[in-house]
Structure 1
Amino acid sequence: MITRPLFTKSITLVALAILIYIFGLFPALVQKHYSAGFYPYISSGLRFVSSIFPFAIGDIVYAVLIGFVFYRIVSFFKKRKALKREHRIIVPLQVLNFFLILYIIFKIVWGLNYSRPSVSEELGIGNEKYSVKELVLLGDYFVNKTNDLKLKQTKIPTYSINDLEINSAKAYDLMEKKNPLFRYSNPCLKAVLNSWLISKVGIEGYYAPLTGEAN
């Protein structure tokens, strides 16, 4: 009796997750009803709310989630001897529900974009196969081009977060005039809370899907 509501919740979440997964198998539908339909509104809303705060809300959300998972794991091992037989069903269902909720939220606020038609398809860019030799030549070209620009540079420009937000918004506005695919409302650019750690692991920047922030 104790597990019935929990079991019902699990069935509901599994069914919803399956429906979302099946929906993602149809790129044209995802593009029409999600990427060009529902998603622009929810992402704009998330960025609007996140922009109210001067710090990266996404980093805090991830820290809380990691802390919650760690806390539940420690609590489980502390209480494992006192667990009853019914908890052999309850605990796995709770774990399943937790990850199903994360999966569903992620898919709704961002993840379904992975199922839309590719950008190359949307922009009409060819998807030809290239040989290793051609890719090496392209890499050499960009290396030489970068080195050439570096030699011409007399001063290293510095940009504040505010400068980056303004310039990136201008860039999106410029691209939107060429293609509505790049429409971007309520820009929200934040500095990460721990730039030293992020730099050490080799990450230059990332998008926080749960809050709509560009970090």
Structure 2
Amino acid sequence: MIWRLLFMLLFFPLAIQAQKTIKWNGLQLNAIDKKGRKQGDWLFFDKKGNALMQCQFQNDKVVGPRVFFNEGDTVLVRLTPTDSLEHFIFYHKGEKISGAFVQNEDRFRIELDHIPAGFGSAELAELKRWYAVKIEPVYMFATQNLIDYFSAAYYKANAIPNWNHTFVVTINASGKVTHVECPSRDELWTENLENEVFGMFYNMGRWQPFFDTWETRDIKITMSLGADLQTITSR
């Protein structure tokens, strides 16, 4: 269970509290240090706020296993790869199945120490899906709503008109907005408006960074934003 795996967090040094963290169920998680590097235990979520994966970072690098969850239960533990092998433990109907993902050049296969009763093509397909899973960026790790942030930012703004625009936002590997582009600008676009709008993005709280295989990566998302505060993000 998630709580069992995160129990150790309660005993982390108090120094981590001084770092930039995300608060989730009373725990301070997903810390970055003063250099913007990911440190300690991290949780990644889906858009509904369900925990998907837990891992530990040291100076931006994943150390130790990655643990994947399904509705709060552990479904897969993936160990650090060695050469072409990545060992794992897959939980199937309460039974632990040890195995390995094997990648040799362009060939991929899954090896299991045993095939339990009821384990068929559907279960194998699920295991392949977990292997290929990529975790998308989510604002504030799904602990806060994007619409709430922009609602407050609009309320404080002075120069934002009643219009719709599309922005391309770059989120770096630690979840910070580092670049904003507005591909199309109309006659209402002014220097003051640009400062107001771009400031909204650059002052946002951290996003959940895009996680791909064994590391987080920079990513660009497209966001359509209008005065009605309806927001759409996509890859």
The TM-score, its normalising length taken from structure 1, stands at: 0.24
Higher-strand-fraction structure? 2
The TM-score, its normalising length taken from structure 2, stands at: 0.22
Rg bigger for which structure? 1
Higher-helix-fraction structure? 1
Higher RCO (CA 8 Å, separation ≥ 6 residues)? 1
